[in-house]
Copies of this chain bind each other. A is one copy, B any other.
Amino acid sequence: MVLNHIRAARTISRIELAAESGVTPATITQVVRELMDHGLVVEVGRGASTGGKPRTLLQLNPRARYAVGVLFERNTCVVVLVDLTGRPVARTSFPGTATLPPGQGVALVASRVNALLDTAGVDRGKVLGVGLATYGPQDRRAGVLLTHQPTPEWFGYPVAPRLSEILGLPVLLDNDAAAAAIGEYWLGAVDTPAFGCIYMASGIGGGVVVDGELYRGSSSNGVEIGHITVDLDGGPCGCGNYGCLGNYADPTAVIKQALEASPLGARLGLDPGDTDVMAAFGRIATAAQAGDPAARTLIERSARHLGTAAVTMTSLFDLDTIVLAGPSLAAAGPIYQSVVQEEVRRRTFARRAHPVRVVTSVSGSDAAAVGGAVLVLQGELAVLELASTAGPAESAGEPAERAGHRR
């Protein structure tokens, strides 16, 4: 708890820490001494004097612990290593697992995580665990996907336990868009009473943070904004619903429209047989941002549909801020930001109660991976780990059992 207050404040004095946490100054002094003994907190100079002696400021020791975040996607995967403050210190990305059987896909991710840790030269004993951010639905407790995407073999495959077993590190599973949302909060980019994140990679998802906590609902399978009906006469979606928003706004939909607008499709070298939809979409988004009128028309249409997603999310969750995140929103971020802002301004139900601001993620393409790592730092896992670790050397022990006990 004290660590979390120090994190949120970035730098803080012992007196301020006592005031904010409601713990007595004597206890704070004691706890801070223990945290400093473990190397988790360091003194970083003095604050402005308020009359008496200037106060010594504390901050987290960024290099005391690390966490790994993985965006696990059909088309692309991203691995980041973040320090104890959530700041990325190393990163890699590679083509996704769309065509691999689950066993091979997980082994590939594990090898990339190991390679990144080796390259970064970080002591594995200081790595708290891995946050695996991917699409839903999921059984978060069991660390299992409840979807037949990309292939039926993935349904029920124990993706988090298997990765944990190979890496010898605790692994937690969570939704990519939810991870992106909490990452934004942790990094200090958004700190409002209720904000949401719209996340676009191959598909479209969402996350909501209220008073600094992820909205979880019944089973952490909410905010699936890509799978709400926006066309009562629309065709069936792979999710079981029909007329889903994603089918009008996501990379696959935009590529289809670009191929129909044949000079554009040919100019950008789009190929109907291409399976890497994110790369193909990236070319359209980049062209739009560079001023290609045909590409811009398509991206603006997609953005207006994301505007509908933002209006629905805001009218249901009563949000004051929408963050646009994910690899497919990074390339043409300014277009999406301005169009979605305008839709929300005009159409949100509670616009007379308060304005709704639309911003782009500070983590861009890496938002979900960074968020996955942040969930490790933030979670009970980290708290237990920090509290119970006498020295860092034991922190990688018994990974399978730990993974079984995570929230």
By a beta-carbon cutoff of 8 Å, the part of chain A in contact with chain B is 136-139, 146-147, 192-194, 206, 210, 215-225, 227-232, 239-243, 248, 305, 308, 311-313, 315-320, 346-354
Contact = CB atoms under 8 A, between A and B. Distances in A.
A364 to B, nearest CB: 25
B312 A228 contact: yes
A193 B222 contact: no
A137 B349 contact: yes
A231 B232 contact: yes
B221 A317 contact: no
Contacts of A227: 315, 349
Contacts of A232: 230-231, 248, 305, 308
Contacts of A239: 349
Nearest to A313: B316
B353 A139 contact: yes
Given A221-B350, A316-B317, A231 B231 contact: yes
Contact of A219 (B217, B315, B353): B353
B218 A347 contact: no
B146 A354 contact: no
Nearest to A219: B353
Top 6 A-B pairs ranked by shortest CB distance? A217-B318, A222-B318, A221-B350, A194-B218, A241-B347, A224-B349
A58 B226 CA distance: 50
A221 B138 CA distance: 30
A128 B47 CA distance: 50
A243 B347 CA distance: 11
B137 A350 contact: yes
Contacts of A222: 315-318, 350
A317 B229 CA distance: 15
Interface of A is mostly: loop
B350 A318 contact: no
In the complex, which of the residues A248, A308, A349 has the most CB atoms of chain B within 10 Å of its own CB atom? A349
Given A217-B318, A228-B311, A229-B312, 13 more contacts: A138-B353, A139-B353, A146-B352, A210-B217, A217-B317, A218-B319, A218-B350, A221-B349, A230-B232, A230-B243, A240-B349, A240-B351, A241-B348
B353 A225 contact: no
Contacts of A305: 232
A227 B348 CA distance: 9
Contacts of A308: 229, 232
A354 B218 contact: yes
Nearest to A155: B352
A218 B320 contact: yes
Contacts of A316: 206, 222-225, 228, 312-313, 316-317
A334 B224 CA distance: 29
A194 B221 CA distance: 12
